[in-house]
Amino acid sequence: MHTPDLRIEAHPDPRDLDFPEDQINAYNIAVTGINDWHALAIFVRDDAGQIVAGVNGGMWGGYLEIGNLWVAEHLRGNGLGKRLLLAAEQEARARDCTQVLLDTHDFQVPEFYKKRGYSIFGVFEGSGGRYNRYYFRVGAYWTLPESAAVPSPASRAGLKPPRYAATPAHAG
């Protein structure tokens, strides 16, 4: 039997990048019977329509995985990151999620998540030879203020699952 050749592709087609994940997702659904994936995408835009803050991720199997939480530098320190995180948590609760998972590096904002009740469940030491990557979770009993704003279901329609390349969560 001939063994297929391996090909390293420096500039792969984005559809090719999606293919392995799509195959794994199809397998996971077939094995578990859980077919409830929902995208999370909450953005703040300026007057020109440019994104100045946002959070994205996906919900499946009773948990939300936050892929990215970012606030433009000039807007940090005003509670916008907290509002985005609360809105994401509220959306997760509305979809019957019992956990939220995310990761961040030690040079980003691990204290931001700790202050909000998230706990570290794993550490990857040595990113870039000197930084740590922290994996956080919060369980079913987090509390959400009634004032947390959540986008309407119509604003979520038609979203494609985000691809989690090497972009960790950022907050402000």
Structural domain including 59 reads 38-156
- The CA distance from 92 to 59, in Å, is 7
Q: Would strands 63-71 and 99-105 be described as parallel, antiparallel, or unpaired?
A: parallel
- On whether residue 164 sits in a domain, the answer given is no
- On whether residue 46 sits in a domain, the answer given is yes
- On whether residue 145 sits in a domain, the answer given is yes
- On whether residue 113 sits in a domain, the answer given is yes
- On whether residue 120 sits in a domain, the answer given is yes
- On whether residue 76 sits in a domain, the answer given is yes
Q: What is the CATH number of the domain that holds 50?
A: 3.40.630.30
- On whether residue 47 sits in a domain, the answer given is yes
- Sequential pLDDT tens for the chain (172 residues): 889 999 999 999 999 999 998 999 899 999 999 999 999 999 999 999 999 999 999 999 999 999 999 999 999 999 999 999 999 999 999 999 999 999 999 999 899 999 999 999 999 998 888 999 999 999 865 544 444 444 444 333 443 443 333 334 444 4
**Rounded to 5 degrees, what angle do the CA atoms 87, 145, 136 make?**
55
Q: What's the domain count of the chain?
A: 1
Q: Answer whether 129's CB lies under 8 Å from 69's CB.
A: no
